[in-house]
Amino acid sequence: MAYAVELNGRQLSKNGATLHYQIHGTDLAAQAYLLAMAAAPVVFDGLLRQDAAVEELGNETWDADVKYGPFPEGKEGDPPTWSFEIAGQSLHIDHSLETIQRYAPSGKTPPDHKGAIGVRRDGSGVTVDGCDVHVPIFSWEETHYVKLQNITPTYIETLEELVATTNEDPFRIWGKGELLLLGVNGSSRGEKDVGITHRFACSRTKTNLTVGDVTGIDKEGHHYLWVEYEPVDDTVSKALTNRPKAVHVERVYEYGDFTQLGLVDPWS
């Protein structure tokens, strides 16, 4: 079971604060992010929770820094405000896009692993270690201002049901399943207006992918792709290798109706 633990070393200044967490029990960056945001209080010392940054330590463990800042200014009827980030995120892969070259001692032929990375023999047979690479992640948040009277229990329940879901229908410029709602937080400004901030992450749908000899693979946005390997005798190099046997694409998030968020597109 994945969980978050707050670490010592809270940091506070006039205009910001940082709380430190460690996440255990997951190898998914998105889940580590969600756990950090869920564990951190919405308000800390008069500052509003803004965002989190997670860093993989290995063995299903992550460090997370949760940032806090001033409450947003604004009132009902104001245009939404937004900010975005495109940053590299560590991703563990076990197969390459292309094998550029293979080398072996003179007179020998190197085995063809069909793109598998870090193939080695251990006590259980042939293992694929893989490697860590950086991939671009587009995330953003937008704040909309609504009347306090509209923040009803039903509205809060709707937001709760939509967090950690992907869009079941095309939404703005994104296709089905390409958006993940990371979280929502709200803060009142006086007795009339509330700023509601929504945080999203994008993962584009891929089609016609190839892994080893497996072709024609389609992967919707936030679906999870994993490769099943099998030991194969490479008759050319006369060596035992591990090659992709099958590729599996799994849906790991529920779908949600993002139109229920009632958001005006800040970029239209």
Reply yes or no on whether the pLDDT at 123 is more than 80.
no
Residue 215 gets the label, from left (phi > 0), alpha (psi -120 to 50) or beta, of: beta
pLDDT for 84: 67
pLDDT for 115: 85
3-state SS, residue 34: helix
Which residues, 6+ apart, have CB-to-CB distance to 206 below 8 Å?
A: 217, 218, 219
Chain position carrying tokens 């940082």 = 18
Model confidence pLDDT, tens digit, residues 237-256: 888 888 888 999 999 999 99
Model confidence pLDDT, tens digit, residues 14-49: 778 999 999 999 888 888 898 898 888 877 877 778
Q: In whole angstroms, give the CA distance from residue 228 to residue 224.
A: 13
Model confidence pLDDT, tens digit, residues 145-177: 888 888 888 888 999 999 999 999 999 999 999
Q: In whole angstroms, give the CA distance from residue 115 to residue 8.
A: 43
- Dihedral sign (CA 146, 150, 153, 155): negative
pLDDT for 253: 94
Model confidence pLDDT, tens digit, residues 177-222: 999 999 998 877 666 778 888 999 999 999 999 998 899 999 999 9
pLDDT for 64: 93
E-only strand ranges, 212-238: 214-219, 224-234
Model confidence pLDDT, tens digit, residues 66-96: 998 876 555 555 666 767 666 666 778 887 8
Residue 109, token pair as written in the block: 């032929």
Backbone angles phi, psi at 7, to 5 degrees: -100, 160
Model confidence pLDDT, tens digit, residues 200-210: 999 999 999 99
| Burial tier of 76 (Cβ tally within 10 Å: 0-12, 13-18, 19+) | middle
Reply yes or no on whether the pLDDT at 105 is more than 90.
no
Q: In whole angstroms, give the CA distance from residue 263 to residue 159.
A: 12
Do 7 and 21 form a contact (C-beta atoms < 8 A)? yes
User: How many CB atoms within 10 Å of residue 44?
Assistant: 16
E-only strand ranges, 70-118: 81-93
pLDDT for 93: 80
Q: In whole angstroms, give the CA distance from residue 248 to residue 134.
A: 22
pLDDT for 77: 59
Alpha helices of 119-241 — where are they, by DSSP H? Answer: 153-162
The larger pLDDT score, comparing residue 70 to residue 141, is at 141
pLDDT for 179: 95
| Beta bridge partner(s), residue 239 | 234
